[in-house]
Amino acid sequence: MTDPAEIGVFGGSGFYSLLEDVREVKVDTPYGAPSDSFFLATVGGRRVAFLPRHGRRHTIPPHRINYRANVWAMRSLGVKAVISPCAAGSLAIGVKPGDFVVCDQFVDRTSGRPHTFFDGPIVTHLSSAETYDPTLRRLAIETIRDHGITVHERGTVVVIEGPRFSTKAESTWFADAGWEVINMTQYPEAWLCRELGMAVVNISLITDYDAGVLEGTEAVDAVSVLEVFAQNADRIQKVVLDLIGRFPSDLDALGARSALGPTRGDGQAMSRDDIRLFETGL
């Protein structure tokens, strides 16, 4: 199979269940099995690969997701740009349940997750200063606005290990640091996309205030999170499908692939004759 997709979406079955001519494919990777089969479809004239990151029946908790397999499989299908929508909590009073946040930064508070493809033997260092692609972020903001949804143009998402929610003390700590969003899946998912030369954009759908953020609100629980997400599922689906059609025709121009050039720690910049492992077809 040669490059059956150019854009990838990490999301549930709602994104592709109503599309026509959806094709299901299984992808093997050097890192084991991805969360599920991939679902290939055409949206707005673009070839798209959808993967439910938790599995189609939501059976994989965030700390058990095989992020490396998921991202490697996306890249092996030809994907060059990824949309990574997620449910998230708010750490700021002004960021309300039902709002969308297009995050521009992350803070990693996970523990023990395999989080890099660069395990050697060539030492590689890639900057994470701007993990989320600015062009795709701008397009996402415009799309969300056009759908009449309240959108926050930037935000820092702190990614916790899960599956437990934060204590009030942790939540207060994160909020006092000035971070706006809390989630369990953005790291290492978004970062691994960058390591394989794929541009990535996040849309966080706010489902609740995290514990300790707003006095008088009850502590977050899984049932309430899923209820709010279900109520807004149609909105995030429409935004993502619309956004796909607005992606640049030349995804290489986003620069995610070229950003890998000066990353090798052996002192040799990548030349056109070098071959990255993910490009060997494994």
Q: Is 226 helix (H, G, I), strand (E, B) or coil?
A: helix
- Report, as an integer, the average pLDDT of 146-173: 96
| pTM, to two decimals | 0.92
| pLDDT, tens digit, 9 for 90 and up, residues 43-58 | 999 999 999 999 999 9
Q: What is the DSSP letter of 103?
A: -
- Report, as an integer, the average pLDDT of 99-106: 98
Tokens of 172: 């207060």
Q: Which ranges of the chain would DSSP assign to H, the alpha helix?
A: 67-76, 134-146, 168-176, 186-195, 222-246
The contacts of residue 67 (CB under 8 Å, 6+ apart) are 113, 114, 115, 188, 189, 192
Range scoring the smallest mean pLDDT among 118-127, 131-140, 145-154, 196-205:
118-127
| pLDDT, tens digit, 9 for 90 and up, residues 203-250 | 999 999 998 787 656 666 667 767 777 777 889 999 999 999 999 999
Catalytic residues: 208, 210
| Amino acid of residue 279 | E
- Report, as an integer, the average pLDDT of 129-158: 98
Domains belonging to the chain, first-starting first, are 7-268 (3.40.50.1580)
| pLDDT, tens digit, 9 for 90 and up, residues 35-94 | 999 999 999 999 999 999 999 999 999 999 999 999 999 999 999 999 999 999 999 999
Measured at the CA of 263, the angle between CA 269 and CA 158, to 5 degrees, comes to: 165
Query: Cα separation of 252 and 261, whole Å?
Result: 14
Q: What DSSP letter does each residue of 49-74 carry, written as one string?
A: EEE-TTTTTT-S-GGG--HHHHHHHH
Residue that wins the pLDDT comparison between 7 and 11: 7
Going by pLDDT thresholds of 50, 70 and 90, the confidence category of residue 278 is low
At residue 173, does pLDDT exceed 70?
Answer: yes
Q: What per-residue confidence (pLDDT) applies to 24?
A: 95
Neighbours of 60 (CB within 10 A): 15
Q: What per-residue confidence (pLDDT) applies to 219?
A: 64
